[in-house]
Chain A
Amino acid sequence: MIEVQDLTKRYGDFTAVKSLSFTVRPGEVLGLVGPNGAGKTSTLRCLSGIIPTNGGAVVIGGCDLARDPVGAKRQLAFFPDEPRLFDYLTVRQHLAFVARIYGIGGHEAAARPLLEEFEIADKADSLPAQLSRGMKQKLVIACGLLHSPRILFFDEPLTGLDPLGIRRMKDSIVRRAREGAAIVLSSHLLHLLEEVCSHVLILKQGEKIADGTLAEVVSRFSGGDANANLEEIFLRATGGSET
């Protein structure tokens, strides 16, 4: 479970996230939506302990991220939009390294199905330079899932994936939510959010404009239009421009 209370993030004089509060329960998938510069990535990076917050509290699976960052991080996985890999480790070595960091004994058994699920088993001895961007993205996801996290943060998870990869990724997210994971993902692909998210949070200039289940947010901004989709709702809620 993810509990966020009054989360604030500032860069100098600029406030990227203002007093943001929300909760994601096991089995829920929360979609973070907003124009460029709305604070989506900053929020995700604060939630996963990558950057320090300037105020508020974040509780990950019962662990306060500020007081017990190691305990909180044991339960989460963060997937950045740009796959960051170690230049000189092969696919298999990446998994071995991550296994040692998380203390996973016999990690080969856990890694094999992940490699097969993401179709990179035949690239196990390849270096990142020999992988396409989509494959790198898949490797990052395989590494993140190796320790079976209960809380997942995805920043633009479909960037660089081919159509089949997109389909598999969506299925994977939905399946893990069904298995009890709490998931937060940010994306500009609103149709993806409509397909996989149970909840939506719309951000603009670092502030929450709306949140709730898809149906609740749609009904709030639809203006009586029963056929309004998330794209129309998003444009109405945010004005559709960059912040």
Chain B
Amino acid sequence: MIAALAYLRLTSLGNRVASAVRRLREPKYLAGALAGVAYFYFFLFRPMGVARGPLLLGDPAGALRQSGAALAAAGSAILLGLFLGRQALAWITPADNPGLRFCEAEIAFLFPAPLTRRRLVHFNLLSAQATILLSSLILTVLSQRWRLLGGSPVARAVGWWVILSTLSLHSTAVGLVVARRSGPGFARVRAAALATIALLGAAVAWSVWRRAGTLEPMGPNPGLGALVAWVTELLDSGVLHWILWPFRWTVAPFLSADLRSFLLALGPALALPAALYAWIVRTEAPFEEGSIALSEKRAAARAARSSGSDYAASGPTRPRARREPFRLAGTGRPELAFLWKNLIAIQSWFNLRVVAAAVAMVAIVGAADLRPAAGSGRWEVIAAAVAVGSGIVAFYTVLIGPQLLRQDIRHDLQNADILKTYPLAGWQVILGEMLTPVAILSGILWLCLLCAAWAATRLGGPDFLGGAARPVVIVAAAAVVPPLSALQLVIPNAAALVFPAWFQAARTRGGSIELIGQRLIFAAGQWLAIALAVLPALILAPSFFVATQFWVGLFAPDPVAVAAAAVAGAAAALVILCGEVWVGVWWLGLRFEKLDLTSASR
């Protein structure tokens, strides 16, 4: 069986590599691969080569002395947390985990084959090793920068392998036990398991709480050495010391500083995975049905993703029918039908809960960023928080909003065949599709402007923004928002229509290096295009602003002059932005009419 598995894995790997290499003949994959390699080199691997000395600050010598014990304690605590958390989750919601996961082809070929169940278990465990070995290799390369650890790369690779194998075996073991949920006495087993987990959790919490009370408290600005010593002492005392003991064994090879300590650590480190392996092999769990169900679900999710759908029909979270944003009459501008449709669709994730969470997060960030001067009034502090928060939201809305809000032709590209049979000009389809993200982005930015205006009223400001100037400036800025949002959306929509094959590749989930590179090129291209498109308005609007101020009041800091200049600047920006948007939508319409996805995918 091992020979068959090795043949399957090696042949698959070989074919995969050959196919990836063949794809590099196409310029788009070659460019993507080059960009991906450059990204990994410059952002991940290169910094490791130039890293100098330990990454610790403060008292490096003292910290180094303590670091081994501290890391062992912290690593074992993390492992314990993962074990307990996973166990608890599996027992509380014992739903979808069949224990052993097989792909569709493996189910089709191996389940009817003359193999014992134990062989299937071994096949699965060995298959998992392929991923674990690759992950260990990658993590070893990435963790090379942790000079503090010392030790050799081989020890680190083996250390990673031990840790990942232990986690994988634990996941399988828990899954297999939970997979027996339909068997007799499962409720008792479950109750006992949950009680044990709760008991362990309580013991850990009690130990930490008790020890923390007796430890000397740290000062307001403790050095790293003091912090390390405090954590080490906390985790190495009382019951916790014994609970963490097996997990210390597991992380010991990874943390070993020399060959001798590595070899000494290796034996005990294998004890936990060996125990888990024995547990798995001895567990008689009906994993077949669960494996088949899970495999079908994953296949459905994959099919849904590749067809552009947001969810798999058999997925765990089926969507519910949403409320209509407004009543759609049978007659009227057809573009509004797209707005109506996309507003319904976007409710699946852009709802009140999300907005409330975002507002809360921004408020917290805004408040945290404030350092109010002594004597500031409460309202001033709140106003400053609102100003900072709305500034953050506006910044990120402009920066990444058009990339995140894809409820336009990008989302409907898979339905292009249907849209093209409609009796509409191409520009009508494009305009209709863009209305929803434009409306949402404009709404968010208008809200930010309103908040900023309120904050400005509270905080005061320069005299020339007093009187009628402030509302005029705000209205002028608000008027520019929709065409600016629309222009920002023209670019990614153009990318989807001009390079549909690239777009499909960029939206495909997956981590091959050429796909990562393609996404990087795509994002960079979009930003460059947006910068160029906004440039004329950025040049002309301030020019009009300055010219009007000169004409009205010779740069006098006068509210009337400022208001007039703001109107003139906004009008200039509006004309340019609207013109660009119109040309963009019209041109995209032509592209849409000529779009041939069949050709692009060939």
* Interface set of A (CB-CB < 8 Å, partner B): 11-12, 14, 42, 45, 48-52, 69-71, 73-74, 76-78, 80, 84, 86-90, 93, 96-97, 99-107, 125-130
Contact = CB atoms under 8 A, between A and B. Distances in A.
B320 A127 contact: yes
B340 A45 contact: no
B39 to A, nearest CB: 31
A49 B429 CA distance: 15
A70 B330 contact: no
B423 A80 contact: no
Given A99-B330, A104-B330, A105-B330, A80 B417 contact: yes
B345 A129 contact: no
A127 B319 contact: yes
Nearest to B318: A129
A201 to B, nearest CB: 21
B310 interface: yes
Contacts of B210: none
B316 to A, nearest CB: 12
A70 B423 contact: yes
Nearest to A71: B423
A49 B347 CA distance: 32
Nearest to A103: B331
B321 A77 contact: no
Given A45-B598, A84-B414, 20 more contacts: A50-B417, A51-B599, A52-B594, A69-B593, A70-B424, A76-B421, A80-B417, A84-B417, A87-B310, A88-B348, A93-B324, A97-B328, A97-B337, A97-B341, A100-B331, A100-B340, A101-B337, A103-B334, A105-B331, A130-B318
Given A96-B328, A97-B328, A74 B321 contact: no
B313 A101 contact: no
Contacts of B320: 127
Interface string B407-434: 0000000111110111111000000000
B304 to A, nearest CB: 9
Nearest to B313: A129
A88 B345 contact: yes
Contacts of A14: 602
A102 B423 contact: yes
Contacts of A51: 596, 598-599
Closest 10 CB pairs of A and B: A100-B337, A88-B345, A73-B423, A74-B423, A99-B330, A107-B330, A105-B330, A51-B596, A50-B420, A78-B421
Given A51-B598, A80-B417, A129-B318, A101 B423 contact: yes
A100 B330 contact: yes
B311 A129 contact: yes
Contacts of B332: 100, 103
A13 to B, nearest CB: 10
Contacts of A45: 417, 598
Interface string B578-591: 00000000000000
Interface of B: 309-311, 313, 318-322, 324, 328-332, 334, 336-337, 340-341, 344-345, 347-348, 414-418, 420-425, 593-594, 596, 598-599, 602
A99 B596 CA distance: 26
Nearest to B593: A69
B330 A87 contact: no
A71 B320 CA distance: 37
A130 B313 CA distance: 8
A100 B311 contact: no
Interface centre among A86, A97, A100, A105 (most CB of B within 10 A): A100
Contacts of A97: 328, 337, 340-341
Contacts of B309: 87
25 contacts: A11-B599, A42-B598, A49-B421, A51-B596, A51-B599, A52-B594, A52-B596, A70-B423, A70-B425, A71-B423, A73-B421, A80-B418, A87-B310, A88-B310, A88-B344, A93-B344, A100-B331, A100-B337, A103-B332, A104-B330, A105-B330, A125-B321, A126-B321, A127-B318, A129-B313
A74 B425 CA distance: 12
A80 to B, nearest CB: 6
Contacts of B321: 90, 93, 125-127
A126 B320 CA distance: 8
A71 B348 CA distance: 36
Contacts of A107: 330
Contacts of B596: 51-52
B334 A84 contact: no
A106 B330 contact: yes
B337 A86 contact: no
Contacts of B311: 87, 129
Nearest to A80: B417
B348 A100 contact: no
A128 B314 CA distance: 12
Contact of B345 (A86, A101, A130): A86
Contacts of B594: 52
Contacts of A130: 318
B330 A49 contact: no
A215 to B, nearest CB: 33
A89 B344 contact: yes
Contacts of B328: 96-97, 100
A101 B420 CA distance: 12
Nearest to A16: B598
A106 to B, nearest CB: 6
Contacts of B310: 87-88
Contacts of B593: 52, 69
Nearest to A94: B341
A126 B322 CA distance: 10
Nearest to B347: A88
B415 A84 contact: yes
Nearest to B309: A87
Nearest to B596: A51
Contacts of A78: 417, 421
A74 B422 CA distance: 7
B590 to A, nearest CB: 11
A102 to B, nearest CB: 7
A5 to B, nearest CB: 21
